[in-house]
Every structure is written in C-alpha cells, then in structure tokens.
Amino acid sequence: MTLAMHSGDHRLGEPHGGTVKTVIAGVEAVCDPAGALYFPEMRLLAVSDLHMEKGSSFARRGMLLPPYDTGVTLDLLAAVIARYHPATVISLGDSFHDPEASARLPALYAIRLRGLMAGREWIWITGNHDPHRPVHLPGDVAGELALGPLVFRHEPQSGSAPGEIAGHLHPAAKIVRRGRSVRRSCFASDGERLIMPAFGAYTGALNVLDRAFRGLFAEEQLLAFMLGADRVYTIGRRMLFPG
C-alpha cells in the first residue's frame, strides 16, 4: 500500500477552534476535542477504539443496552470527517466490539459507514477485539502501518521506536481543584509516542497514571490533552491525579 505525503493544500486541513497542535517524533498533529487526531501534512485522520456494536454485544448476554451506540459513534465520526476532509482515515483497532460485531451491524449504520468511507482511503488496523477483517465492508486491513517516522498500531509496545501512535488503553486524566475533580478522556503523549482516547460511545477510560501505562512515556514530558466540551486542554504531568 502506498500513501502519498500530501503537502500544499492546507486549507481543507486547517485546524479549527478548540484544537491543540502537538508534535510526535517530529510530525505535526492536531488533537481534536472529539477525540480524533489529524495530521495536516498527510491529510490523514486517525480514530481509535470505536467499539461499534458494543450495545448489541452486551444484548447477546441479556443486557439490552440502547442499540444506538454505533449511531452516536458514526455521527461523531461524520462530524470530524466533515471538519477535516481527510484523504485517509485510520481506524486504530477495536473498531468493532467483538469479532461478530461487523456482521451484526444494522443495515442503516452499514450504509452510513460506507458513505463516510467513500472517496477516501480507509485502513482498519486490527485490534484485540476485532482481529479479523470486518465483513461486508471495504477498506484495507493491516496489523500495523508505518508512515514515515510514524507507526500506527493498536496496542502500544513498550520499548518500541519513537513515533508510535496507538490506542487500546483508553486513556483518561484527572485533575483536582478546590476539592472538585474533573476526569476526562485524553490523548496522552510525551512527544515520542501518543496514545489515543477511545472514540466509541460506550467506551470507558483508564487513568494515564494507572499501571497499564507504566514504561510507555518519559514521565517528565508527559502531557494529557484532555477532551473538554468544545476544546482540548493541555495538562502537565504534575497536575494529574490518579483514580
């Protein structure tokens, strides 16, 4: 697979209000408050952990959660795509909540998803929840993808080369001020590696200070790009609380 490094035409990919720019392994990226990461140079949009059909996955086991989670996730995705008009979209693994989930996708949502995919390159990175190619859907499938100094994979690998963009861990950060705490999903990055927030409507989140993140970041450089209502907030390591 080849991916052209676009340059020049920045108008479409101009970051809008509320975003935060950051640099990973020398590549400029825009953290969007919706939880998507946009690379203007490549006109590439990355989203992670969509967990589509999580609701129906629970329904199979007798918990009849509202069957609208995929719809909400797709609405959000459609809005982000409309914002950046990316040439390429990478869905960074766990796009579907279980291996059968893509087959369960209600026709209504399958049509919408195909609409979003049309006219652009689309790469499904496999994840632990969806180790195989989604059925009845176009797009390329890969275990991981290297683009210049960047490598996109689902699960972060400690000790790997700089430039890793991963998901899987669903990072969140917490601050405490005046006795009140605020906990939000976040992008977590030390400039060498970036871990993306989970994008799906029913996805929970894990504090970046949890053991699961240990060894992934240079502690002192860690920044949490916390997702606010309509903007991203950059919070330093020393402001973060566990839990």
Q: Which residues bind another protein (CB under 8 A)?
A: 54, 56, 58-60, 62-69, 71-72, 97, 106, 129, 170, 174-184, 201-206, 226, 228-229, 231, 233-236, 239, 241-243
Nearer of residues 7 and 181 to another protein, judged by Cβ: 181
Cβ-based nearer residue to another protein, 3 or 241: 241
CB of 182 to another protein, least distance (A): 4
By C-alpha distance, which of 51, 16, 37 is closest to 90?
37
Burial 168-179 (b: 16+ CB within 10 A, else e): bbbbbbbbeeee
- Shortest Cβ 230–another protein spacing (Å): 8
- Do 15 and 83 form a contact (C-beta atoms < 8 A)? no
Burial 102-139 (b: 16+ CB within 10 A, else e): bebbeeebbebbeebbeebbbbbbbbebbeeebeebeb
**With contact defined as beta carbons under 8 Å apart, do 41 and 28 qualify?**
yes
Q: Name residue 176's amino acid.
A: V
CB of 140 to another protein, least distance (A): 26
Smallest gap, in angstroms, from Cβ of residue 133 to another protein?
Answer: 21
Burial label for 17, CB within 10 Å (0-12, 13-18, 19+), is: exposed
Q: How far is the CB of 137 from another protein (least distance, A)?
A: 18
Pick 6 or 54: Cβ nearer another protein: 54
* Region of 127 on the Ramachandran plot (φ > 0 left; ψ -120 to 50 alpha; else beta): beta
Cβ distance to another protein smaller for residue 123 or 240: 240
Pairwise CA distance, residues 113 & 107, whole Å = 10
- Which CB sits closer to another protein, 151 or 226? 226
Q: How near is the Cβ of 193 to another protein at its closest, in Å?
A: 20
* Residue 88 or 91 with smaller CB distance to another protein: 91
